[in-house]
Chains A and B, each alone.
Chain A
């Protein structure tokens, strides 16, 4: 397939999701493997951009402290040494129409943006395994948090990330599974319902209180 795409001039995205707590080991060892596979994707597998997604072996999310640390350090390593185009993807534990889901998504968006990623892809809420538990509202959160974090000093960003992740990481085992798309939106008009807009507004206010300049 790669040979065909290359000959056809297609834009080739190469995806790889290192598992934290798996064969690689701890955060530093996993980041070494993550960096090596980023480089390999471009150097001899023909990628035009790379989609990362360090994932936690216990919780199945990309929004954990450890997996964000792996992604952010790998991104900074690639960013400081190349001009290659790098992306990350989103697997929060909680599902749509919950504050936890939007807070997880915003936290990773801030981390990915501050560490120099060029593209954010998501979000597969509820770990990306539950039927119809993904909606455009999570992407709105991802994008708006990213836009607000872009340009901030890293020293300002880290305390915000710390406050957010320490707020939700204790709840992984009892994370709300959220609502299905059909419950979050009017399916005919494809408009989000008042309930989800209120949840979104509440999370935006929490992010503003922490110093993130999210505008409506």
Chain B
């Protein structure tokens, strides 16, 4: 059936409000493992030894299995303890609405983020950084600069500043906000030091 429009965040929230109530343990221990195992058998998925698939048909079957898993099992909201379901038509409409070409960063430091389609000779975008690993406050700028100055790096991903003014950046305290703001200032300083002031962060 044709969809009314692509789902918005508010539509999805409303869908969860009406979703089936379920405990997290039922979802984790029963629903997910049972349904995933059934779909593995239904779509005859056996990856064998290859890390990267050479069998295109199997990769397509995996996509179909993933789609069926999403449509039939739904999506669990841990906070609301409810499962929302979406039709395949709604899912494709959402995919259709998603941009398939982005620009990360600005001016001379911008990089195009576009589909590669298989193992294209075009390299992926290289996002350098500690990816959430803890970094000392006193070397945070230098650590981030070490990524920003690398020729092969296109964009930055930050680490976590472990303290601010020597205090732990504890979650749900003002120190957490202060540390986050300091992280952002440090990232901007790092890319300026590397002569790439408009690199995406």
Distance of A38 Cα from B98 Cα, bound (Å):
13
Contacts of A2 in B (CB 8 A): 9
Structural contact, A27 and B47, CB atoms closer than 8 A: yes
Let me know if B113 and A119 touch, CB within 8 A: yes
A-B contacts, 10 of them at CB < 8 A, read A2-B9, A11-B102, A72-B53, A77-B63, A119-B125, A136-B147, A139-B153, A140-B152, A146-B123, A154-B52
Cross-chain pair count, CB within 8 angstroms: 307
Q: Which residues of A contact B98 (CB under 8 A)?
A: 42, 47-48, 84
Check A77 against B66 for contact (C-beta < 8 Å): yes
Contacts of B159 in A (CB 8 A): 134
> Quick check: is A106 within 8 A (CB to CB) of the other chain?
no
Which B residue's beta carbon lies closest to that of A88?
A: B124
Q: Is A32 touching B62 in the complex (CB atoms < 8 A)?
A: yes
Bound state CA distance, A68 and B117, in angstroms?
Answer: 19
Contact A43-B90, Cβ < 8 Å, known A120-B125, A136-B149? yes
Closest Cβ–Cβ distance, residue B133 to chain A (whole Å): 4
Q: 8 Å CB contacts to A: which residues of B67-123?
A: 67, 69-70, 73, 75, 86, 90-95, 98-100, 102, 104, 113-123
Residue of B32, B56, B120 touching A80 (CB-CB under 8 A): B56
- Measured between beta carbons, the chain B residues less than 8 angstroms from A90 are 131
A24 touches B32 (CB 8 A): yes
The answer, among A39, A69, A126, for a CB contact under 8 Å with B91, is: A39
Inside 8 A of A85's CB, which chain B residues have their CB? 100, 102, 113-115
Q: What is the minimal beta-carbon distance from B101 to any residue of chain A, in angstroms?
A: 8
Chain A neighbourhood of B50, CB < 8 A: 69, 158
Bound-complex Cα distance A48 to B45 (A) = 29
- Given contacts A29-B39, A43-B91, 8 further A-B pairs with CB under 8 A are A3-B9, A32-B40, A43-B95, A48-B99, A85-B115, A120-B127, A143-B152, A190-B146
Find out whether the CB atom of A35 lies under 8 angstroms from the CB atom of B119.
Answer: no
Is A197 interfacial (CB-CB < 8 Å)? no
- The answer to whether B145 touches A152 (Cβ under 8 A) is no
List residues of B (138-156) whose CB comes within 8 Å of A's CBs: 139, 142-143, 145-150, 152-153
